[in-house]
Chains A and B, each alone.
Chain A
Amino acid sequence: MKYLTEFRDGEVAQRMAREIHAVTTRPWKIMEVCGGQTHSIIKNGIDQMLPNGVDMGVEMIHGPGCPVCVTPLELIDKALAIAAQPGVIFCSFGDMLRVPGTDKDLFQIKGEGGDVRIVYSPLDAVELAAKNPDRQVVFFGVGFETTAPANAMSVHVAKRRGLKNFSVLVSHVLVPPAITAILGAPENKVQAFLLAGHVCSVMGYWEYPPLAERFRVPMVVTGFEPLDLLDGIRRTVLQLEQGSYEVENAYERVVNFEGNQPAQKLLAEVFEVTDRAWRGIGVIPKSGWRLSEAYREFDAEDRFQISGIRTVESPLCRAGDVLRGVIKPAECAAFGKQCTPRHPLGATMVSSEGACAAYYNYGRFLSAEELAKAVVSC
């Protein structure tokens, strides 16, 4: 398939992996920011292809870039409360439905009679609002910069069409402040970043050179296919070995420096920067977007005054440590025991982009030796 198969060539991948082995002389820790990259690394076993010696190697640390995972539990509880209200049509992307709130998830709300619908675009939710003038249609707008333009467009369109029954429950978060928080933390061990390719397709990468300069860490804009990831890692390791800290673009077929200018213009009009709580991490200053004054009337939190929510996080769950790259999923005592995709204690086990779910789903409960023994020859 065009643009896919050529980036999944096993032989080229082996060659690139050998090149990484050849240039690596010290132990390096690289964080991939985006959950989509984590998913692809674990699915394709990219981490197993990297050097892993006693005093030299490349360790991938999984970052906080899973929108489902970092959405605060309190907001999920609010979403559940709104979705349960009679007369509401609650729209969401598919993978938010199974994320547990304190007591329930959206599937349960649906089972109990709530009108919860999966949409593929927030504009579909706007259409629903236009077709159901006697119902309140709420879209659960979570995500990083990647999903923000479509969410902004939905609000923009709703305003233009004068829809009074459409609103969004917004929890947008931003990558640069998260990177700043990780690098600024005393326990930080991340030495370089693979920047999230899709976020940069919207925002460009003009925001990152000052960060690379300030913390002296190399950053490489990276895509999601196996060869994209290996190329991103290869370029990052080369910089680390040379002691340089540039921002490079290894995803040129999608990303340019300036990014998508019309999208950025729309984002600046519809949203304004705000402090945001990140699940498992806490409040990061100026790390998110909320609706700007001109669009505040579409804010579901204002429209549905939800109060009396009691949010209780599981005491066993260490999703926060996983999201900050402090531990690997399998190092959590609850991983694969009390916490499985069927009974997730935290969002990192629910979302397909969550590091814990990626580890569990692709069999990382087996040892590397056990996985390696699973020989295929046909």
Chain B
Amino acid sequence: MAKDLRVDVADSPSSTQGSPTRDFANWSCPLPLADYPSIVMGHGGGGKLGNELVEHLFLPAFRNPALENLGDAAALDLGSGRIAMSTDSFVVQPLFFPGGSIGELAVNGTVNDLAVSGATPKYLSASFILEEGFPLAQLAAIVESMAAAAKSAGVQIVTGDTKVVERGHGDGCYINTAGIGVLRNGVQVGPHRARPGDAILISGTIGDHGMAIMSVREGLEFESQIRSDCAALNGMIATVLDAAGGSVHAMRDPTRGGLASTLNEIAQASGVGIAIDEESLPVRPEVQSACELLGLDPVYVANEGKVVLFVDEEAADVVLDLLRGHPLGRNAARIGQVTAEHIGLLVARTAMGSNRVIPLQIGEQLPRIC
């Protein structure tokens, strides 16, 4: 936006106090609209209130040249080559949890979907569906966390939208992000490209995000706090692809449904069997304890900052070292291999030395009676 961010307070609903003009250029959250401490229907009405949200909240937080035009669409320069596009909606409750927030999830989730597709994430859109009465301070905190996450991931939020639904018709705040990235040359990854003999690596411990959410959502009181692993993976993935891109056949971030769902999907998409060693799976003791307590299996619990990689056997050790050399990959481990046996199935070798099939779950895992 080219115009000065100086706003004449006489025109705005927050005009009843303070000096005649207020400088929002160096505005920081969370005080854009003091007279409206929470979202009202007008914030989605396309009028002054909506504009103020944009000018006083979204623009200062996300500031970049493409956004500042405030056109109906952002004009972007992507250079030549193929692009990747992805979208995801975020409805997590609670909105803030140990280790992250819906805002960080919304940025990192889409960044990660692009990164595991072999693309370099560049630009995101952000759409908010807000419930009437949602505290503005919370929205500001979410927007700030998104801005920080975007900065850290090296992407720009270049377009967006806000809608307000009546009280009772939403859950505070829903966010949709879409993202585009540029596909890397010389890298061909996809869920259908795993082949027999591939080594399977994971970049760290499993189940952290799901158990962090469950521990706060269900009011379970564990001795040690479990933190979400929410993180943008594009930096770590770029390190791997820069050095060994040709050896990586498939990547995926095991979010909902956990590692088990991801491995099942790749087994089916690639028409191969997958064998993992249960003892090699990295699981934090506090996550394992919480799972034992609730009768859940960490292989089905969601992650938000992990990537599973299918790589050439010869390159497996190199890739593992690359992962472990990155701050997000210190606990990376080799967990199994692709086989031409039991096509479409994920089979785990148990600690007892026996084998068991790990199927796709039908719905959510449910805590057991006893």
Q: Is A45 an interface residue (CB 8 A)?
A: yes
Residues of B within 8 A of A294 (CB): none
Contact A366 B357 (CB under 8 A): yes
Q: Is A22 an interface residue (CB 8 A)?
A: no
Between A and B, how many residue pairs show CB distances below 8 Å? 142
Interface segment out of the listed A8-16, A215-223, A307-315: A8-16
Residue among B347, B350, B366 making CB contact with A44, cutoff 8 Å: B350
Identify the interface centre among B276, B351, B358: most chain A CB within 10 Å of its CB.
Answer: B351
Q: Is B166 an interface residue (CB 8 A)?
A: no
Residue of A nearest to B337 (CB): A378
Residue of B nearest to A66 (CB): B369
Instruction: Assign chain A's interface to a size class.
Output: 35 or more
- 24 pairs from A and B in contact (CB 8 Å cutoff): A1-B288, A9-B351, A10-B350, A10-B351, A13-B351, A42-B356, A44-B351, A45-B353, A93-B368, A94-B368, A95-B369, A98-B363, A120-B218, A120-B367, A146-B370, A147-B370, A198-B370, A351-B369, A373-B342, A374-B275, A374-B341, A374-B349, A375-B275, A376-B337
The 0/1 profile, CB within 8 Å of B marked 1, for residues 184-207 of chain A is 000000000000001000000000
Residues of A within 8 A of B367 (CB): 93-95, 118, 120
Contact A45 B275 (CB under 8 A): no
- A146 CA / B295 CA spacing, docked (Å): 15
Contact A378 B355 (CB under 8 A): no
Residue among B279, B349, B366 making CB contact with A95, cutoff 8 Å: B366
Q: Which residues of A contact B (CB under 8 A)?
A: 1, 4, 8-10, 13-14, 36, 42-46, 48-49, 67-68, 93-98, 107, 118, 120, 124, 142-144, 146-147, 198, 226, 341-342, 351-353, 360-363, 366, 370-378
Contact B277 A378 (CB under 8 A): yes
- A371 CA / B342 CA spacing, docked (Å): 8
Residues of B within 8 A of A375 (CB): 275, 339, 341
Within B270-319, the residues touching A (CB, 8 Å) are: 273, 275-277, 279-280, 285, 288-289, 292, 294-295
Q: Is B354 an interface residue (CB 8 A)?
A: yes
Residue of A nearest to B220 (CB): A120
Residues of B within 8 A of A378 (CB): 199-200, 277, 280, 334-337
- A10 CA / B277 CA spacing, docked (Å): 13
Residues of B within 8 A of A46 (CB): 352, 354
Residues of B within 8 A of A226 (CB): 351-352
Contact B288 A49 (CB under 8 A): no
Q: Is B359 an interface residue (CB 8 A)?
A: yes
- A8 CA / B353 CA spacing, docked (Å): 11
Contact A67 B370 (CB under 8 A): yes
- A45 CA / B353 CA spacing, docked (Å): 8
Q: Is B345 an interface residue (CB 8 A)?
A: yes
Q: A120-B220, A362-B357 are in contact. Are A352 and B347 (CB under 8 A)?
A: no
- Per the CB 8 Å criterion, the residue count for chain B at the interface is 45
Contact A45 B337 (CB under 8 A): no
Q: What is the CB-to-nearest-CB distance from B296 to chain A, in angstroms, rounded to a whole number?
A: 10
Q: Is B362 an interface residue (CB 8 A)?
A: yes
- A144 CA / B370 CA spacing, docked (Å): 9
Residue of B nearest to A374 (CB): B347
Residues of A within 8 A of B349 (CB): 374, 376
Residue among A118, A353, A376 making CB contact with B336, cutoff 8 Å: A376
Q: A10-B352, A146-B370 are in contact. Are A376 and B277 (CB under 8 A)?
A: yes
Residues of B within 8 A of A49 (CB): 352-354
- A17 CA / B215 CA spacing, docked (Å): 38
- A1 CA / B291 CA spacing, docked (Å): 12
Residues of B within 8 A of A120 (CB): 218, 220, 294, 367
Contact A342 B362 (CB under 8 A): yes
Identify the interface centre among A1, A93, A363: most chain B CB within 10 Å of its CB.
Answer: A363
Contact B356 A68 (CB under 8 A): no
Residues of A within 8 A of B363 (CB): 98, 107
- A95 CA / B295 CA spacing, docked (Å): 10
Contact A143 B359 (CB under 8 A): no
Contact B359 A45 (CB under 8 A): no
Residue among B294, B337, B369 making CB contact with A96, cutoff 8 Å: B369
Residues of A within 8 A of B368 (CB): 36, 93-95, 351-353
- A124 CA / B355 CA spacing, docked (Å): 39
Q: What is the CB-to-nearest-CB distance from A57 to chain B, in angstroms, rounded to a whole number?
A: 17
Contact A147 B369 (CB under 8 A): yes
Q: What is the CB-to-nearest-CB distance from A32 to chain B, in angstroms, rounded to a whole number?
A: 15
Q: A341-B362, A378-B280 are in contact. Are A4 and B352 (CB under 8 A)?
A: no
Residues of A within 8 A of B352 (CB): 8, 10, 13-14, 44-46, 49, 226
- A112 CA / B334 CA spacing, docked (Å): 45
Q: What is the CB-to-nearest-CB distance from B348 to chain A, in angstroms, rounded to a whole number?
A: 8
Contact A361 B366 (CB under 8 A): no
Residues of B within 8 A of A107 (CB): 363
Q: What is the CB-to-nearest-CB distance from A289 to chain B, in angstroms, rounded to a whole number?
A: 15
Contact B336 A4 (CB under 8 A): no
- A10 CA / B278 CA spacing, docked (Å): 12
Contact B347 A371 (CB under 8 A): yes
Residue of B nearest to A10 (CB): B351
Residues of A within 8 A of B295 (CB): 95, 352
Q: A9-B351, A93-B368, A374-B355 are in contact. Are A1 and B342 (CB under 8 A)?
A: no
Q: What is the CB-to-nearest-CB distance from A144 to chain B, in angstroms, rounded to a whole number?
A: 8
Contact B347 A376 (CB under 8 A): yes
Residue of A nearest to B347 (CB): A374
Residues of B within 8 A of A68 (CB): 369
